[in-house]
Structure 1
Amino acid sequence: MSTVAVFGLLAAIGMRLQTSGQFDADKWAIFLHWGTAKFLFDGLVSTITAAACAALAAFALAIPLALGRLSMRPWISRLAGAYIEFFRAIPLLLLILFMVIELPSLGFDWPALGFLVFAMALHHSALTAEVVRAGILSLPRGQREAALALGMRPAQAMHHVVLPQALRSMLPALISSLLAIVQDTSLGYVIPYDELLHRSQDVSSYAPQSLLQAAFIVTMMYGVVSAVLLYLKRWVVRRQRRDGATRGAKAAITGAAGAAEDVAKPATRFGKL
């Protein structure tokens, strides 16, 4: 029923747009020029560049923050927790504006990309640190205890046993974090950073009659990037389920073979008697 309602709403919106002349050829003509397409594509490249730099910085900060939050030393845990809570609470848009206004007065004469990446790295490292911490806590305690029983120090057990398994299990959540970073690059228009949303505003300023059309095309471009990341996330989830099922089947076969050997051994002993 909800699907029918959604299609009905979309049909009503389409009819309204048709009535107001939004599908007229003259409002879409500017997007048929190669220069406009290249202009928007360059904006998409800028968006992906900012997202990639911010993601690398945020993920690099998130792991030590998560480990610090789990530290047995209270002052390290509290310091990491204060960082996470502080930058989670500040809206990213205000953080970007603060960076642009305050950092130049301190001598940081960065390009717009630097301010955007720095602000996004601070904000998303706090968010991703909680994802990493949850992934570590979700593992069975036996993994760490087995590593300690083998003679590893706690730090070695965390880095060589616990953390690799946690990162593997929370890979879908990290892809979701990357998707959020891509979408948040649109806030760079306030700097202004020449990303996709800012390029669409330039197009609509040059052709005011195509304002809605520019917004639609940019939305579709963002949608393509989001669809690729969502497909990657679903592929990773399916791969992890398949690997888990394979490991479970191997364990079941090994367990059944061991049980059969245990049953056969007494029979052998009795036969010798």
Structure 2
Amino acid sequence: MDFTNAFSWMNIRFLFDGLLITLEVAVLSIIISLLMGTLLGVLRYLKIPAVSKIIGFIIDVIRNLPLLLIIFFTYFALPQLGIRFDIFWSTVAAMSIFESAMISEIIRGGLISIPKGQTEAGLSTGLTKMQTLWYIVLPQGLRTMLPSIVSQLIALIKDTSLATIISLPELTHNAKIIYGQDTSYVIPMFVALALFYFVICYALSLLSKRLEVRLAK
């Protein structure tokens, strides 16, 4: 184990370059998956004839596929269909597709957990179905959804490491390059990876706890 040379300025800078890519992929995927997941979850909750069933089938298929397979599909298969992304956007697309399916089920489950009496009370006051959903059902459901959503987003951040398989220069990929040059750097790089991922994921979990407290008030 050579911690001194493993954490030279050049290696640290290379790790931070990878960390930046990891964060960019994670942030973009989180934004897209939250928007798409919420939309899909609401559409399934509304039980629109035919539409909800088709969406449900697609979501079930995606949820039961390995994320790695979806990454391969977006990077290797889509170009065969005339749709080309570079490594970065292939990763974002794959992560967003997979996480949108996961989050949509969390959203739908949270909405279903709200008693029907709440919806009926909103409709009886003259609100439309969409207004009732937006102002009454969704805010209450958010309290039960939040812990599961945060757990899924934490998993998303950790899953960005899978993109190393298509050579995305993210954190894990760059660490592999560093310890590939000298096997004495293996443990130092594993320590660095564990520290980086822990800090990011722990910060997100602390943020979610604060949000839970505010929502509970």
TM bucket, shorter chain: over 0.9
Number of the residue aligned with 2:38: 63
Q: Taking CA–CA contacts closer than 8 Å with sequence separation of 6 or more, which of the two structures ends up with the larger relative contact order?
A: 2
Moved more, 83-92 or 149-158: 149-158
- Pair 1:144-2:124 in alignment: no
Number of the residue aligned with 2:8: 33
| C-alpha separation in 1, matches of 2:211 and 2:128 | 32
- Scaled by the length of structure 1, the TM-score of the pair is 0.74
- Scaled by the length of structure 2, the TM-score of the pair is 0.92
Pick one of 180, 191, 209 that aligns with 2:184. 209
Any conservation in 1 of the 2:75–2:85 contact (CA below 8 Å)?
no
Report how far residue 67 of structure 1 moved: 1.7
Number of the residue aligned with 1:12: none
Please provide the CA RMSD for this pair: 1.7
| C-alpha separation in 1, matches of 2:123 and 2:130 | 10
Pick one of 99, 103, 109 that aligns with 1:134. 109
In the TM superposition, 1:1-273 aligns within 5 A as 22=1, 27-241=2-216, 243=217
| C-alpha separation in 2, matches of 1:64 and 1:232 | 24
List gaps (5 residues or longer) in structure 1.
1-21, 244-273
Residue by residue, what CA displacement relative to the aligned partner does 1:63-88 show, whole Å, maximum 9, x if unpaired? 12112212333312211210110100
Equivalent residue of 2:46, what SS? Answer: coil
Report how many residues are paired.
Answer: 217
Report how far residue 164 of structure 1 moved: 3.1
Any conservation in 1 of the 2:119–2:132 contact (CA below 8 Å)?
yes
Amino acid paired to 1:235: R
Say which one has the larger Rg: 1
Report how far residue 139 of structure 1 moved: 1.8
Equivalent residue of 2:70, what SS? Answer: helix
% identical equivalent positions:
31
